[in-house]
Chain A
Amino acid sequence: ETGVTQSPTHLIKTRGQQVTLRCSSQSGHNTVSWYQQALGQGPQFIFQYYREEENGRGNFPPRFSGLQFPNYSSELNVNALELDDSALYLCASGKGDTDTQYFGPGTRLTVL
């Protein structure tokens, strides 16, 4: 186990709705990254937070947003859900002075 937890495990939403996914980082970690993994594909980088500020963003539209809290937990918010947003959403945490990232188990989002 990596010590990174995510909630909920599964989620079903309809097109146009909004969703919030949560991640609790491993103790002592001050960075958190979010990835989207479509079925049969590798994870795609959405964005990263370091010391509560966005510190890099992948090729995702602004309706994907996030927050990192002082206790280093994090949220991923997705507005105006589209069918193609159906995927496994992964968060990964790490320490600012190392390269190792540890992934959580993911949240499976289904958009109908």
Chain B
Amino acid sequence: QQQVKQSPQSLIVQKGGISIINCAYENTAFDYFPWYQQFPGKGPALLIAIRPDVSEKKEGRFTISFNKSAKQFSLHIMDSQPGDSATYFCAAKRAAGAGSYQLTFGKGTKLSVIP
């Protein structure tokens, strides 16, 4: 059972454009939603994260929009640059006991930013 659904699978955006990646979740017990960026041959790097009591969070060119009632959240990358070309994963953490950090990941979106 895939608990976090991510779309699109791949995305091509022109330099300077806006990249938008969407995720939907099913489990209302999730309480933390991070986005990770992964380059080939590297581990995932945390980009930005949000909690369900906040509708939007912005850090630089990256913004998360969160819709708790629809159980959806999205990543917006403004002024996309070729250096942003990577695979992006949304994830969700289920509230649990102390020190519990089980993340459920989406399948990833491969972003290509063309000059």
Contacts and interface: CB of A to CB of B under 8 A. Distances in A.
A42 B105 contact: yes
A105 B45 CA distance: 9
A7 interface: no
B43 A105 contact: yes
Q: What band does the interface of chain B fall in when counting residues whose beta carbon is under 8 Å from A? A: 20 to 34
Interface size class of A (residues with CB under 8 A): 20 to 34
Contact of B96 (A30, A44, A56, A94): A56
B99 A42 contact: no
**Centre residue among A48, A50, A101, A105 by max chain B CB count within 10 A:** A101
Nearest to A51: B99
A33 B43 contact: no
A42 B97 CA distance: 24
A43 B88 CA distance: 12
Interface of A: 2, 4, 30-31, 33, 35, 40-45, 48, 50-51, 55-56, 58, 90, 92, 94, 96, 99-106
Closest A-B pairs by Cβ, 9 of them: A42-B105, A50-B99, A103-B43, A96-B99, A99-B32, A105-B43, A103-B44, A31-B99, A106-B43
